[in-house]
Amino acid sequence: MDIYLGLGSNLGDRESNLRQALAKLPPAITIDAVSPVYETEPKYLENQPRFLNLACKGQTEMSPRETLNFIKKIEKNLGRVETERFGPRIIDIDLLFYGKEEIKEPGLTVPHQGIAERAFVLVPLSDIAPDFAHPVLGITIKELLGKLGDKSK
CATH number at residue 115: 3.30.70.560
**Domain residue limits at 137:** 2-151
The residue annotated as part of the active site, out of 80, 118, 131, 150, is: 80
Active site residue 85: no
Least confident residue range of 21-25, 87-91, 131-135 = 87-91
User: Around Cβ 73, how many Cβ atoms within 10 Å?
Assistant: 12
CA distances from 115 to 26, 53, 105, 141 (A): 25, 14, 18, 9
Choose the catalytic residue: 13, 32, 85, 89: 89
14, 32, 85, 94: the catalytic one is 94
Active site residue 2: no
* SS3 (DSSP) at 39: strand
Catalytic residue flag (residue 65):
no
Look at phi and psi of residue 69 and say left if phi exceeds 0, alpha if psi is from -120 to 50, else beta: alpha
- Domain tally, the chain: 1
pLDDT tens string 91-138 = 999 999 999 999 999 999 999 988 999 999 999 999 999 999 999 999
Percentage of residues in the chain with pLDDT exceeding 70?
94
Catalytic residue among 92, 127, 131, 150: 92
Q: Are the beta carbons of 68 and 110 closer than 8 angstroms?
A: no
Q: Is 80 a catalytic residue?
A: yes
Looking at every residue in the chain, the average pLDDT score rounds to 92
